[in-house]
Amino acid sequence: MSIPKGSRAVAFNAALYAMARRTRTMSNLLTGKAAKKTINGLNTMQTDADHPIVMIDDLNTMPGNEVMYDVIHPIYGPPTMGDRRLEGRGSRIAMDSESIKINQGRKMIEDGGAMFSKLTTYNMVEVARTLIRNWYQELDEQTTLYHLMGMRGSFTSNTDVVPLSSHREFEEILINEILAPSYDRHIIAGGNKTLDQVDAADKYSLEILDNIDLILAETERPMRPIILPDAEKAGHDPFYVKLITPRQWYDLEQSATTKDYQKMVAEATVRKQGFSHPLFNGKCLMKNNILVKVMSRPVGLTAGSSVAVSKNDKNATTEQVQVNTEIHRSILLGGQALAIASGRHKNVKSTFKITEQDVDHGNAKEISLAYVHGKQAIRLKDQDGFQYDVGRMVVDTAVSLGMNR
């Protein structure tokens, strides 16, 4: 019995959705499993809040193009002692809400036509499906990275899927605004107060990792650490992930003694014992409960380019700052750094929809992929009304420029 063409399409849509959640992209590596609704975190149909990326699936089951998430603030202050009266001394429950929008994006590819197909033994329709699937994985990787970093940056390559911010469709492609890191989550190398003061000598170093550990210990707005499945059973403490560019990794190696570097390699090896998680695959270091890894693509600024930087005010208002040397941006990730909301298409029970149609009087076939999602860094207000990033902290440094630059 043959399967109707429409059923095959639906099956492929579902398979594409499953594939997108299984592949080892940044989004999937940093996302946990589904969690129940709780009052101490994002109050939605979501994955657990102990990972940097939180998937929110409310719009898969209800109409709308925007989802709200809530956080209830903890209470502080002294107790009431003895027979002192409680009236007028209560702590009021406070909470904050933010929203994230979703939108449809589409990509179309053509199989090349009848004569092109005769020149090869490949099934060009299947090739087109594979190419468009790989294209989406790259889109997902890049949009996740730029939202986390708080900027698109000025670096370009022939693998770009997301254009520069000057592109007329840039804001549509990113769907939600890219939020520059809040003032207290932005570290600038060399002890500089402003990004335009960074010079070529302010490179990534072992000292920066030590400073980050101190900042995490002293901050008034603590970052929620990462807790991986089965980590507690292995006796591991919560930790953070630090993603750095290849040149920052080189500078870190140069700043560390052989003994210090070997110790960080050994600590990463010991840390992954007792449970298996792909975050610990490949080259990585561990220091002060911070796992250091090289990111998939560098994000940064060429000398003379500008970037939005948050001021030290309640609303995290931004101003444009021009850099005077090449800057690379790295990021420290804790729990709840980025929210990804997904929706589903009409008549398709999936975030993705694949369609095929004959064109040019049947001479060629077009295959299109549609997806419905939205991403944004998670930013909330504390009890004093200050906006802050919940699970991310960026570090901007100069880098060593090799002979190939």
Within 13 Å, how many C-alpha atoms sit on residue 1's CB side? 3
Confidence of residue 250 (pLDDT cuts 50, 70, 90): very high
Structure tokens belonging to residue 128: 């087109």
Residue (of 187, 192, 224) closest to 208 by Cα position: 187
Distance CA 291, CA 269 (A): 11
Q: Looking at 282-296, 297-311, 332-346, which range is the least confident one?
A: 332-346
Amino acid found at 384: D
pTM equals 0.83
Distance CA 275, CA 346 (A): 41
* Local structure of 116: helix, strand or coil: helix
Distance CA 29, CA 279 (A): 6
Residue (of 138, 68, 70, 110) closest to 371 by Cα position: 138
Contact present, 285 and 292 (Cβ < 8 Å): yes
* Local structure of 264: helix, strand or coil: helix
Q: Which residue has the higher pLDDT, 328 or 279?
A: 328
Distance CA 131, CA 122 (A): 13
Q: Looking at 36-45, 81-90, 116-125, which range is the least confident one?
A: 36-45
Query: 10 Å Cβ neighbour count for 260?
Result: 14
- The confidence score (pLDDT) of residue 236 equals 65
Mean pLDDT score of the chain: 78
Structure tokens belonging to residue 51: 């990972």
Contact present, 299 and 280 (Cβ < 8 Å): no
> Residue 120: pLDDT above 60?
no
Query: 10 Å Cβ neighbour count for 62?
Result: 10
Q: What is the mean pLDDT of residues 265-277?
A: 81
Strand partners, 187: 395
- The confidence score (pLDDT) of residue 11 equals 47
Residue (of 29, 81, 67, 154) closest to 372 by Cα position: 67
- The confidence score (pLDDT) of residue 346 equals 67
Number of H helices, E strands in the chain: 8, 20
315-343 residue pLDDT tens? 999 999 999 999 999 999 988 888 888 77
Distance CA 103, CA 137 (A): 17
Highest mean pLDDT of the ranges 14-18, 24-28, 300-304: 300-304
- CA distances to 107, 112, 138, 369 from 134, rounded to whole Å, are 12, 18, 6, 11
Strand partners, 282: none
Q: How many residues comprise the chain?
A: 405
197-224 residue pLDDT tens? 999 999 999 999 999 989 988 888 888 8
